[in-house]
Structure 1
Amino acid sequence: MHSDPKGSPNFGPGPSAQSAGSGPISSGGSDEAADLARARKALLTGGTKNRRLDAPALRHALVDLHEFWLTTKGVELGIKPDCGFAIVAVGGLGRRELLPYSDLDLILLHDDMDPAVVAQVADRLWYPLWDAHIKLDHSVRTLPQALQVAAADITAALGMLEARHIAGDVELTNLLISGVRRQWRVDIRSRFDELITQTRTRWERSGEIAHRAEPDLKSGRGGLRDVQLLNALSIAQLTDGMPGLGPNSPGGGLALAHRRILDVRTELHRVAGRARDQLQAQDADEIGAALRIGDRFDLARLLSESARTISYSVDVGIRTASNSLPRRGLSRLRRPPVRRPLDEGVVEHAGEVVLARDARPKKDPGLIMRVAAAAAVNGMPISASTLGRLADNAPELREPWPKNAVNDLLVVLGSGSRAVPVIEAMDRTGLWGRLLPEWGAIRDLPPRDAVHTWTVDRHLVETAAYASGFTTRVARPDLLMLGALIHDIGKGRGGDHSVVGAELATQIGNRLGLWPSDVAVLTAMVRYHLLLPETATRRDLDDPATVQRVVDALGGDGILLELLHALAEADSLATGPGVWGDWKSSLIGELVRRCRLLMAGEELPIPDPLEPAQLAVAEDGGVHVALGPADSAHTYVVTVVAPDTPGMLSRAAGVLALQSLRVHSASLGSHAGSAVNTFVVTPRFGAPPQAVLLRQELIRASAGELDLLELLDAKDEEARSGQWEDPIAAGNDSAVPVQYAQAPPRVIWFDSPGEGQAILELRTEDRVGLLCRLAAALEHSGADIRWAKVATLGSSVVDAFCLDFGEADTRAARERVEAAVLAVVPVPPPEKKPD
């Protein structure tokens, strides 16, 4: 072979020219093909000297083999520096991740050479590969043609971003690589939406690797394509390439997760004897043994851990990229995002929850849960830098937990589906396991039966999300959500998980600082969470002994019975489709009904007694406001004593809400013509206002100078305006407006011993100024509030009001009051109509 004056190869007689991309035909390179085929077979069957190569070594050997063959063949064909030709690798060979049976992705790049010469070079390069039975994805292009393809086809562009020079004119390859990358950076603003839409479509088609019995390791969410997506965003200079998790995180970081999934896919090819992306159940044990992982369950756990690490990193990368997109035109004139306060030490910035500038994680143990609660309530993701800072600096919560931290945990659990990404992010960064050390045994633990959709840890979070929709069915929504979160915490440790879990539940309840009686109920929920479904579906409900057995096991506790009833439904719904249905629902409902017949009736709510000091102040008359610390940090007790006039409760509650004081509990009574109202509150930001300011505002409200309801509506609208929608999840319902509730409100009436009196118990979800609105609604409907007992449990509210109707205590009067109450509480979002 000789070169012409332009440096182009000059070939002698050879195979007939074929256009690039044509099928294989016979060529003169049979010996070359045989040598290449034998070398590949030796690597796949035994490696060198009959030693089986492990997955990383096999990939490296395959890359070296094909590079050596291509460079040798290139020299033979005259593809040398300054010849106007270059062999460029993309795909697995370009990334140095060549798998046993993956396609060989090659571009024959040329500098506008003579078509006849190009065809002859291509023929003599492609045919030996085809004769060796190597799947070849090839193209022959000039530099402008390649750039044009990359500009028009986003899939081709993603491939060329990973291009690597193999042989020939390196300057030509460098022009391609630099041109494609420059073009990608310049056009990313206009192509970003298409890239994310394509990614979401792929996820919908292939599912999540972490929760699939037979996952797609390449295209599934958390798979190899997602790592390539992160690389593309890094090349566009929108992310740092390895966002989210470092090597010290529970999953070992993004790099380790990527390598593990790549190793599994390598062994999948070797076991299947062909290219395959989907891991089938019958191959899992062999692959697990080859990688020295264990059986198929051990392999599934490793895949779940790795895929969830990648998924979290992709979420962070896409959010970071979305916020980093270059702005053009009038958008450049837009003011940068402002920092909106959400809670003490917590703000929102650019659609993410971040720490305030004056936050001190090292000195604020409750900051972790406040950040989580703010994220869940507002439907926003937590910034990766914030999670990293908390993981590095936040101290351990003391035991028992402060009440505010427990309340924030309940707020997270009560947010329904919005809690899932918050807990997932905390778990991937090690914060969730720090709060619940028992979580490590079930993290990424695969289910043992096919009916389960999720891993055990995700199942618990999903159960809590479903349980948040049932909080108004039970008297203790806080225990329902905690029980849902830990009901399977005993799995993965051997033995009966209900028995093991009950012991852990006692440990967790004590750590949270629950009352001993509440710890006992939580323990019993975990111990007997299977009692109702197993009894209802396996035993004769007409046998009195069946019902007596359940009542005896529960100790005749009606509250425990209703908690287990709600938990059984939430557990079934979170297990998988078809597990909960009319048949199971009716059986469990009938069992619960029969159990209630054997148990005592419900106890009436009763008011808290007034303290002697409060009685003395009430007898003095006038308006008095006192504020002092409560029994936990950042919590205060506000006592308001004022003349017992209509609307006093509403005005007092409204003033507290306008001063950004959240009411956790309240006891409302009267004495000597004065209303005595005691509130346990927490400031949303900083220190509470002084008592004298609260008194002044209360006097102004009583004089009609403040329209409390109008001001609260404005405050509510301000909270709703901060809702955020995930750019990668457009069309989902992750950002739910705050006036919507997870569970429908419920009103329960009790007949009071007092003449003409009735007790209304309201179970609903909280909102800004709810107590003020409720009191105003009750007063406007003609009911006189004799006493009240208010409890806020996370995001759930259980309020009891003793109403004096006098002689007007009729069914119509109660219906009028109930309608007025339901008009001001959060309601479930409207059902979406099918397209």
Structure 2
Amino acid sequence: MVRTQPAQDFSIDLTSVGVDEWRDTARQLLNETHRLLAERFDMGAEAEELLLLRCRAVDQVVRTGWRIVAGEPFGLTLLATGGYGRRELYPQSDIDLLILGEPAHQDAAQQAIQEFLAGLWDAGLAPGHAARSIRQCIEVAREDLTVATALLDTRLLVGERRELESLKAALNAPEFWPPKAFFEGKRGELRQRHARYNDTAYNLEPNLKEGPGGLRDLHTLAWLSKRLSGVDRVCDLQGIGLLGSDEADTLQRELWSLARLRIGLHLVAGRREERLLFEHQTTLAKRLGLKDEHKENLAVEQLMQGYFRSAALVLRLSERLMQRFEESLSGDVSHVEIDGDFEAFGGYLALKQPERFTTEPLLIMRLFDVWQNTADLRGLHSNTARALGEALDLVNESLRDEPDARNLFMRMIRHDHAALTLGRMAHLGVLGRYIPAFGKVSGRMQYDLFHVYTVDQHTLTVLRNIDSFRDEASKQRFSLAYEVWPRLRKPELLLLGGLFHDIAKGRGGDHSKLGADDALDFCREHGLSAADSELVSWLVREHLTMSITAQRQDIADPEVISKFAAVVGERERLDYLYLLTVADIAGTNSKLWNAWKDRLLADLYGSTRFALRRGIRNIAHGEERVGEAREEARAVLLSHGLSEAQIDRVWSGFPEESFLRYRPAQIVWQTMGIVDAPLDQPRVLVRPHHRPGALEVFVYSPDRDGLFAAVTATLDRLGLNVVEARVLTSTQGMSLDTFQVLDAGSEFISPERRAATVAESLTEVLSKTPLSAPAVRRAIPRQLKHFRVPVRIEFSENGSGRSELSLVCADRPGLLAMVSAVFREQQLRVHDARIATFGERVEDFFQLSNEADEPLDEAAQQRLREAMVTVIEADRTRG
């Protein structure tokens, strides 16, 4: 941004006014300072300049208020503490004051102090204060580390400097928070604070002050530097060998980078807000002068990428300095030889001569290979980490072209703990240098609610998921993946597919195709065979295909399976693609991997394996599949004691489509549940999935128009999200409808009890005439309000004699119930529904007909389109 010459500081004389005039004049000074600060921010002023600007104005108000309003109470000294003491005053920060003096003086001046504080409030400040003697300060601080920490940043405002010096002397006494206890206390605070944010800086709405890699981490380093090393600033650690010049420059740069973001956030929010919420991100990006480059590199995404990169650097350097502080306190100088180049120093991996990185860059790759193959290391020694950071520029084209470096990389990726090693390389900045395309997506976020991680962190999560498939502990979450994993010929090919699958995001164009080209080049350069290189490239190009097929298409349709099998072509590719798809979905958002997606992908995998065994041109036809389903289900039912006559009687009402749409296990469950059911009353079966949070609902009821709307409204009222619906009608006029639902709010209720409650509620609704279950209107969550997804409704014919409707729009509570009500109002029947949610966006598919079971003509389609848009947009406006 081009900076222009800022206006001169605003100045008002507060020294020669009376008490009443002081309040108005002080408020005017603060307001004008705020205006000037905002003006200078928009012109590109540095954060340090802006913080000092506000601090000078606040100092003037506080000092004159102490003299004019309080009358300079005898025997008391006024000190600034905390951020105010550090001269880091943000636009909406409060101010921390310490009134230092003996109790007798404080009591005598109590009225004056109260009037002083009230005056500051009237002027527009938010003072927090304590009134204590030096002895009281020390007593409280001994019991409370937070108080002890705040006192490290005290600064004289009004009074005797000797009082401040006496306080500092007491704080520096050896018995007051001994260095080791202070370090352990602050490290414990840091770990607890990080845990509150799930130990990641990569939150969609990060906290600039308290989050991992935020300003509080830098403050913690400053406090530890003061207490443990006796220096005023972190950068002063250079003088005693605890900090390198590059590290000092980086810490200073990132401090002011994060500070400027926080200043901007306060200006945009207009209040004391530390979370970079969605509603502020776009506005702040614009205010910082960032512009959209294209739809995959929005200004807001540039803003967040800058923040995430800053936070990553702060975390990296914070870990390094914390380790140095710990080393200086522990005195552990044990050396254990690893090989001629490396050793374990105090339990940490260390290059014996760290300066050798600059003359032998291959040692950078060897470092990770040795780390990967040496057990019981606590981590990387801080001096080696410093030298590595200073040598990162040497991870360049020359090193990448070196055959030994390429061989080391492939050796590491073939290791059982490859994902851990790649994570270490990424964290220390090496992976983004060795694979420059990965460096470009480091810190890159997508402005939506679907992708909760940055691209690089998502990729590393996918790699960890892949690595977990080999462990028996993963069976509960990834049961089929655990079975498929041992069949992989070369697991490293799957890891390479995971590493490159999103590497081209943000460039513009199809990231799958661009990434496939990158992967192909990389594999060829690293000596993979043509067949293996093509497999990795194919995986990257098709990494979304299986997910899209499972979630958006009818995988009970033989034609769908035939097309997908043609894309896959062979069993080996199916195995690799299935595992990458599972790892990708589970690594995109913790809420995405659920029982429904698990079953969908497993069903698609099984159907495709069967198709590939028979040959792509000889996919099992409907009649054959129906026969197989009947035979398998009948055998199970007979084993459960049902007679042939009972089975035939129930199945006489089942259309052929039942045996095509439902799996044999579902047909068994349905048959056993309704074998004794009367034809004139509803029966609802509900069972929990083997994984928590999912239920299957089967509705056997006299078929009536409006039944689908009544069921979906009831499920919505019960807090259940419908993800799939199969709507069939028996030859005897009974519904044979199945709903797959997810339950996010009943973790404290047993699945069996929840299932019983759902069955009772649905039975009660379906027993009434006429059917009635009005949809419940609920407020749209805050996060969803800040994303706009245009409503898109399209119709197509699928050859089934029905119309297929696809709906894309913004998500909101109760959407399916609302849409179902529109279908009912338009006198339409729903035969199939597939519900897919991607963060703030839904992509739903419905098979519809009129009440005569005919497809919708153009007029009916237009009426439905208009009605749906009206209802959805009206609901959005109300939200």
Shorter-normalised TM range: 0.5 to 0.7
2:156, 2:143 → 1: CA distance? 23
Give 1:748's aligned residue. none
Pick one of 424, 427, 432 that aligns with 1:425. 427
Does residue 65 of structure 1 match 2:65? no
Assess if the C-alpha contact under 8 Å between 2:320 and 2:382 holds in 1. Answer: yes
1:263-342 matched pairs, under 5 angstroms: 263-294=260-291, 295-325=299-329, 336-342=332-338
Q: 1:502 to 1:301 in 2, by over 3 A?
A: same
Does residue 459 of structure 1 match 2:458? yes
Pick one of 503, 519, 525 that aligns with 2:517. 503
Assess if the C-alpha contact under 8 Å between 2:539 and 2:576 holds in 1. Answer: yes
Does residue 405 of structure 1 match 2:408? yes
Deviation, structure 1 residue 66: 1.5
Does residue 352 of structure 1 match 2:348? yes
Q: 1:186 to 1:201 in 2, by over 3 A?
A: closer
Give 1:591's aligned residue. 604
Please give the secondary structure, in 2, of the residue aligned with 1:237.
helix
Unpaired runs of 5+ residues, structure 1, are 1-26, 328-335, 603-835
1:79, 1:168 → 2: CA distance? 12
- More deviation in 176-185 or 299-308? 176-185
Give 2:183's aligned residue. 192
Unpaired runs of 5+ residues, structure 2, are 1-16, 292-298, 471-484, 616-879
Amino acid in the other structure paired with 1:356: K
1:252, 1:479 → 2: CA distance? 40
1:86, 1:209 → 2: CA distance? 42
1:139-538 matched pairs, under 5 angstroms: 139-182=130-173, 187-207=178-198, 210-237=201-228, 241=234, 253-294=250-291, 295-325=299-329, 336-342=332-338, 345-357=341-353, 360-362=356-358, 364-376=360-372, 378=375, 380-393=378-391, 396-399=398-401, 401-402=403-404, 404-410=407-413, 414-416=417-419, 418-419=420-421, 422-427=424-429, 431-470=430-469, 472-473=485-486, 474-538=488-552
Q: 1:184 to 1:238 in 2, by over 3 A?
A: farther
Amino acid in the other structure paired with 2:323: R
Assess if the C-alpha contact under 8 Å between 2:76 and 2:106 holds in 1. Answer: no
Q: Provide, for residues 296-321 of structure 1, a one-character-per-residue CA deviation record: whole Å limited to 9, x for no partner.
A: 22222122112222222222222222
Assess if the C-alpha contact under 8 Å between 1:84 and 1:172 holds in 2. Answer: no
Amino acid in the other structure paired with 2:29: A
Deviation, structure 1 residue 580: 2.0
Amino acid in the other structure paired with 1:571: D
Q: What fraction of aligned residue pairs are identical, expressed as a percent?
A: 25
2:276, 2:34 → 1: CA distance? 19
Please give the secondary structure, in 1, of the residue aligned with 2:535.
helix
2:245, 2:180 → 1: CA distance? 31
Q: 1:376 to 1:71 in 2, by over 3 A?
A: farther
TM-score normalised by structure 2 residue count: 0.59
Assess if the C-alpha contact under 8 Å between 1:106 and 1:137 holds in 2. Answer: yes
Q: Provide, for residues 641-672 of structure 1, a one-character-per-residue CA deviation record: whole Å limited to 9, x for no partner.
A: xxxxxxxxxxxxxxxxxxxxxxxxxxxxxxxx
Q: 1:519 to 1:48 in 2, by over 3 A?
A: closer
Q: 1:128 to 1:420 in 2, by over 3 A?
A: farther
Deviation, structure 1 residue 346: 2.3
Does residue 89 of structure 1 match 2:80? yes
Please give the secondary structure, in 1, of the residue aligned with 2:585.
helix
RMSD: 3.4
Assess if the C-alpha contact under 8 Å between 2:79 and 2:98 holds in 1. Answer: yes
Q: 1:437 to 1:55 in 2, by over 3 A?
A: closer
Give 2:8's aligned residue. none
Deviation, structure 1 residue 135: 1.0
Q: Provide, for residues 84-112 of structure 1, a one-character-per-residue CA deviation record: whole Å limited to 9, x for no partner.
A: 54221112221111012211111122267
Give 2:577's aligned residue. 564
- More deviation in 155-164 or 128-137? 128-137
Number of matched residues?
561
1:426, 1:491 → 2: CA distance? 22
- More deviation in 196-205 or 499-508? 196-205
Give 1:609's aligned residue. none
Give 1:23's aligned residue. none
Deviation, structure 1 residue 338: 2.2
1:79, 1:171 → 2: CA distance? 21
1:600, 1:50 → 2: CA distance? 70
Give 1:35's aligned residue. 25
Q: Provide, for residues 228-268 of structure 1, a one-character-per-residue CA deviation record: whole Å limited to 9, x for no partner.
A: 1111111122698358997868x982222222222222222
Amino acid in the other structure paired with 1:109: L
Deviation, structure 1 residue 546: 2.9
Please give the secondary structure, in 1, of the residue aligned with 2:228.
coil
Q: Whose helix proportion is higher, 1 or 2?
A: 2
Q: 1:600 to 1:200 in 2, by over 3 A?
A: same
1:574, 1:136 → 2: CA distance? 45
2:106, 2:389 → 1: CA distance? 61
1:426, 1:222 → 2: CA distance? 14
Assess if the C-alpha contact under 8 Å between 1:400 and 1:511 holds in 2. Answer: no
Q: 1:399 to 1:55 in 2, by over 3 A?
A: closer
Amino acid in the other structure paired with 2:55: V
Assess if the C-alpha contact under 8 Å between 1:346 and 1:370 holds in 2. Answer: no
1:740-819 matched pairs, under 5 angstroms: none
Deviation, structure 1 residue 491: 0.6
Q: Provide, for residues 145-182 of structure 1, a one-character-per-residue CA deviation record: whole Å limited to 9, x for no partner.
A: 22222222100111111112222211211222343244
1:128, 1:101 → 2: CA distance? 18
1:259, 1:179 → 2: CA distance? 32
Give 1:743's aligned residue. none
Deviation, structure 1 residue 589: 2.5
Q: 1:143 to 1:412 in 2, by over 3 A?
A: farther
Deviation, structure 1 residue 337: 3.7
Pick one of 514, 522, 539 that aligns with 2:553. 539
2:230, 2:444 → 1: CA distance? 31
Give 2:723's aligned residue. none
1:315, 1:387 → 2: CA distance? 10
Please give the secondary structure, in 1, of the residue aligned with 2:380.
coil
Deviation, structure 1 residue 442: 0.4
Please give the secondary structure, in 2, of the residue aligned with 1:139.
strand
1:79, 1:375 → 2: CA distance? 66
